[in-house]
A and B are shown apart, each in its own frame.
Chain A
Amino acid sequence: MKYLCLVYLDEARLDELPDAECVAYDREIRGSGHCLASEALQPVHTATTVRIRDGRLGITDGPFAETKEQLAGFYMIEAHDLDQAIELASRIPPARVGSIEIRPVRPIRETVAAAEALGR
Chain B
Amino acid sequence: MDPDSTARITDTIERIYRGESRRVLSTLIRLLGDFELAEEALHEAFRAALEQWPRDGLPANPRAWLVSAGRFRAIDAIRRNARFSALEELEAHGHEIAAEEHGSRDEDIEDDRLRLIFTCCHPALAADAQVALTLREVCGLSTEEIAQAFLTPVPTLAQRIVRAKGKIRDSRIPYQVPPPEALPERLDSVLRVIYLVFNEGYSASSGETLTRHDLCTEAIRLARLLGGLLPEAEVDGLLALMLLHEARRSTRSTADGELILLEDQDRSRWDRARIAEACSLVEQALASRRYGPYCLQAAIAAVTAEAPSFAETDWHEIIGLYDALLRLAPSPVVELNRAVAVAMRDGPADALALVDALLARGELRDYRFAHAARADLCRRLGRKAEAGDAYRRALALSRQGPEQRFLARRLSELER
Q: Which A residues are closer than 8 A to B by beta carbons?
A: 1, 3, 80-83, 86, 102, 104, 106, 111, 114-115, 117-118
B327 at the interface (CB under 8 A from A): no
Closest 7 CB pairs of A and B: A81-B174, A104-B171, A81-B172, A114-B84, A82-B173, A82-B171, A118-B84
Chain A nearest CB, measured from B44 CB (Å): 25
CB of A114, distance to nearest CB on chain B (Å): 5
Q: How far is the CB of A4 from chain B (nearest CB, A)?
A: 11
Residue pair A104, B172 in contact (C-beta under 8 Å): yes
For A102, the chain B residues whose CB sits under 8 A away are 171
A115 contacts B84, CB within 8 Å? yes
Closest residue of chain B to A110 (Cβ to Cβ) is B88
What 0/1 readout, one digit per residue, does chain B (212-252) give for beta carbons within 8 Å of chain A?
Answer: 00000000000000000000000000000000000000000
Q: Nearest chain-B residue to A81 (Cβ)?
A: B174
Query: Contact: A83 with B84, CB < 8 Å?
Result: no
Which among B88, B170, B171, B173 is the interface contact of A114 at CB below 8 angstroms?
Answer: B88
Interface of B is mostly: loop
- Which residue from chain A places its CB closest to the CB of B168 in the assembled complex? A82
B84 pairs with A104, CB closer than 8 A: no
Q: A1 CA to B141 CA in the complex, in Å?
A: 33
Using known A-B contacts A111-B85, A114-B85, A115-B84, determine if residue A86 contacts B124 with beta carbons closer than 8 Å.
yes
Task: Give B128-184 interface residues, CB cut-off 8 Å to A.
Answer: 170-174, 176, 178, 182
Residue of A nearest to B124 (CB): A82
B237 → chain A, closest Cβ, in Å?
A: 26
A102 vs B171: C-alpha distance when bound (angstroms): 9
Check A83 against B85 for contact (C-beta < 8 Å). no
Distance in Å: Cβ of A117 to nearest Cβ of chain B:
8
Distance in Å: Cβ of A6 to nearest Cβ of chain B: 14
21 contacts between A and B (CB under 8 A): A1-B172, A3-B171, A81-B172, A81-B173, A81-B174, A82-B124, A82-B171, A82-B172, A83-B174, A83-B176, A83-B178, A86-B124, A102-B171, A104-B171, A104-B172, A106-B170, A111-B85, A114-B84, A114-B88, A115-B84, A118-B84
